[in-house]
Structure 1
Amino acid sequence: MTSEDNQTNDSSVDTRHGCILYVENVTVSFDGFKALNDLNLYIDDGELRCIIGPNGAGKTTMMDVITGKTRPDEGTVFFGQSMDLTQMTEYEIAHAGIGRKFQKP
């Protein structure tokens, strides 16, 4: 394996026919409580979205699903047209270029 094999660049994310991030019908439950209930989110290449909401609205759970920390009970999450994030490890998702930054109080 070469160092080039370990790198992910923009050309590896196929967005020619759709969104760069595709979240559809995602549901996550914790002990019967639905933290996410049939969530849909589509982000196009170059688009910026801000997620706001009150405590308990599901913002962190949504990011946990996108970054691989939490697996959805139902739904689809794709990065580009071919990277099924629900089938990837946290490391693989981070290596593909998806990350998060927590706010420091």
Structure 2
Amino acid sequence: MAAALLIDDVTVEFGSFRAIDALSLAIDFGEVRAVIGPNGAGKTTMLDVVSGITRAKQGRVVFDDAIDITRTSESEIARAGVRRKFQKPSIFEGLDVRQHI
């Protein structure tokens, strides 16, 4: 059975700093996972790799057993349904509370 998301042997480096070292993770269809760890553990970097914002030095990320994220543009990845939500809270000045929801 294919994985909904496969992260296979992914390594990410920023200069001489290795943020992710040979990470592998498979998430099956219908499965929910949580990624926890201290600041600097690589959680955000992993999400950036999955959404195409950051490119891995090695390894691959496959979405829906069909889309090789490591070889796809950020906009194509977003169109396929994979994107991260940044934590910066913001509102639209002209909308009321109900419209924001």
User: Is TM-score (shorter-chain normalized) higher than 0.5?
Assistant: yes
Relative contact order, CA 8 A, sep 6+: which one is greater?
1
Q: For the residues of structure 2 that align with 1:55 and 1:84, how far apart are their CA atoms?
A: 28
- From 83, 95, 99, give the equivalent of 2:67: 83
- Identity, in percent, stands at 53
Q: 2:38 aligns with which of 49, 54, 75?
A: 54
Give CA-to-partner distance per residue, 1:86-105, whole Å, 9 cap, x none. 11111111100112223357
Paired residues in the alignment total 89
Greater Rg over alpha carbons, structure: 2
Match of 2:87 in 1: 103
Counterpart Cα distance in 1 of 2:47 and 2:9: 15
Structure 1 or 2: more strand by fraction: 2
Unaligned runs of 5+ in 1: 1-16
Q: In the TM superposition, what is the alpha-carbon distance from 1:74 to its structure 2 partner?
A: 0.4
Structure 2: segments with no counterpart, 5+ residues: 90-101
- When normalised by structure 2's length, the TM-score is 0.82
